[in-house]
Structure 1
Amino acid sequence: MTTTPRSPRLLLLSTVLLAVAGTALLYMPHGQQPPTPGTAPPSAATTARSPIAATPSTGRPPTLGAAASTAPEASTPPAALPPHGEGVAGDRAVQRNLETAWPADLPVADQRKLLTAGRALLHADATGVGRARWPDMFPDMGQAVAPAFATADFRIQAAIARRDGSPNKAVVHLVWAGTDRSGTFTDLHITEWNFTRTTKKGTATWTPQPRT
């Protein structure tokens, strides 16, 4: 299951994931049934005004023309998303599909910083662990709120960091899995975080943007 897209980029990522998953069904052996995904859990977006849901963005989504032009021939199964519940072994396919749909456009050092921050923010948002590090992002952390997802089963399946229409703006996209409070495990959730870059004394800092 995926989080309902609220921006052009999230819509694109959802489309890519669903399209590739649909194509994979064409290569499933005759008589084999696709796995049935679980019921969507309450996401962290509905807990304590959590910022897990993406805000609208003005950047244009990337084109998929390059990826389409290099698609394998019909006789060769395309890179497919793993079945629901495949586990860590299937995460490489998710990462590969994200990178193919949206080629890198940031320096490696910036990507590393953004991905580290984006992963930490998502983990704090979904599980409640580590929110004190981000007081501007979680202003209501003093309230007693049960985390939406269990820490033990939370897993980031894939992540990319890309420009957001300006060299000083970026967005981190993450695909993740976890078990909610009802005990239901689901994967292929999609979340994005927006960042802005400021430079002081020659040192660049990427700062996450809180929800308004």
Structure 2
Amino acid sequence: MTTTPRSPRLLMLITVLLAVVGGVALLGVPHGHELPAPATASTAHAANLPAAAATPASQPTVPTPPSPQSAASGASTPSVPEPALPPHGEGVAGDQAIQRNLEAAWPADLPATDQRELLTAGRALLRADATGIGRAKWPQVFPASDQAVAPAFATARFRIQAALARRDGRQDTAVVHLVWAGTDRGGTFTDLRITDWHFTRTTSKKGAVTWTWQPRT
């Protein structure tokens, strides 16, 4: 199959028209501007990303300051310093500080009448044990054989520095905690010694309450 060749005049006319149309298009572009280049795949993708994703990785991140609530919860409460014990050999002047320190560390949990009874018994027991004075009043604590033993501490240098009575785990048990000083038979003086005496409460049929010494276990 053959085709009829185009006329040379027609081809020339088409060429002239294309040249004129191209010149008109170039005249419409402002001076100093270029036509935008076609967007590539990478630039088109970047244009569609959100602003946060387009932030350079090298840009420093500013930490968010903690809220007042979080700062308050993370703050530690300063501890209140406890009163220090007096140095060894302070003498009677330091006994009040020891008593205050004991009472602050171990709040009272017994009625005042029970405390007085227990403290009286605890002090007497400690004196009898250390110096031998009054052992006959406590036969269940100091049998006859113990009463003949020479006391370990001299009476003149014996001193109870502080004492308190508190519950000992149950409602019917108590402990008398004593801090004391004394000079032993070798002539050595020591203070801030600690002794505990344990008691059990019994109630008679008439309702009288009595605290009875309990042996050490």
Same fold (TM over 0.5): yes
Which residue of the partner structure matches residue 80 of structure 2? 71
Cα deviation per residue 1:147-175 (whole Å; 9 max; x = unaligned)? 01000110000001000111110000000
Question: Is 1:202 paired with 2:202?
Answer: no
Which residue of the partner structure matches residue 160 of structure 1? 164
Structure-2 separation of matches of 1:70 and 1:113: 36
Which residue of the partner structure matches residue 110 of structure 2? 106
Structure-1 separation of matches of 2:136 and 2:128: 9
Question: Is contact 2:136-2:147 (8 Å) kept?
Answer: no
3-state SS of the aligned residue for 2:125? helix
What root-mean-square deviation, in Å, do the aligned CA atoms of Structure 1 and Structure 2 show? 1.8
Shift of 1:104: 0.5
The structure with more helix, counted as a fraction of residues: 2
Which residue of the partner structure matches residue 85 of structure 1? 89
Select the structure of larger CA radius of gyration.
2
C-alpha change, 1:148 and 1:71, in structure 2 (3 Å) is same
Q: Which residue identity lines up with residue 180 of structure 1 in the other structure?
A: D
C-alpha change, 1:142 and 1:165, in structure 2 (3 Å) is closer
C-alpha change, 1:105 and 1:183, in structure 2 (3 Å) is same
3-state SS of the aligned residue for 2:177? strand
Which residue of the partner structure matches residue 126 of structure 2? 122
Matches within 5 A, 1:1-212: 71-72=80-81, 79-141=83-145, 144-200=148-204, 201-211=206-216
3-state SS of the aligned residue for 1:94? helix
Cα deviation per residue 1:116-142 (whole Å; 9 max; x = unaligned)? 000000000000110000000011446
Cα deviation per residue 1:89-132 (whole Å; 9 max; x = unaligned)? 10011111111111110001100100000000000000011000
Task: Give ranges in structure 1 of 5+ residues lacking alignment.
Answer: 1-67, 73-77
TM-score (norm: length of structure 2): 0.61
Question: Is contact 1:170-1:196 (8 Å) kept?
Answer: yes
Q: Which residue identity lines up with residue 71 of structure 1 in the other structure?
A: V
Q: Structure 1 runs of 4+ off > 6 angstroms? A: none
Q: Percent of aligned pairs with the same residue? A: 76
Structure-2 separation of matches of 1:166 and 1:184: 38
TM-score (norm: length of structure 1): 0.62
C-alpha change, 1:70 and 1:167, in structure 2 (3 Å) is farther
C-alpha change, 1:89 and 1:143, in structure 2 (3 Å) is closer
Aligned residue pair count: 140
Structure-2 separation of matches of 1:116 and 1:169: 16
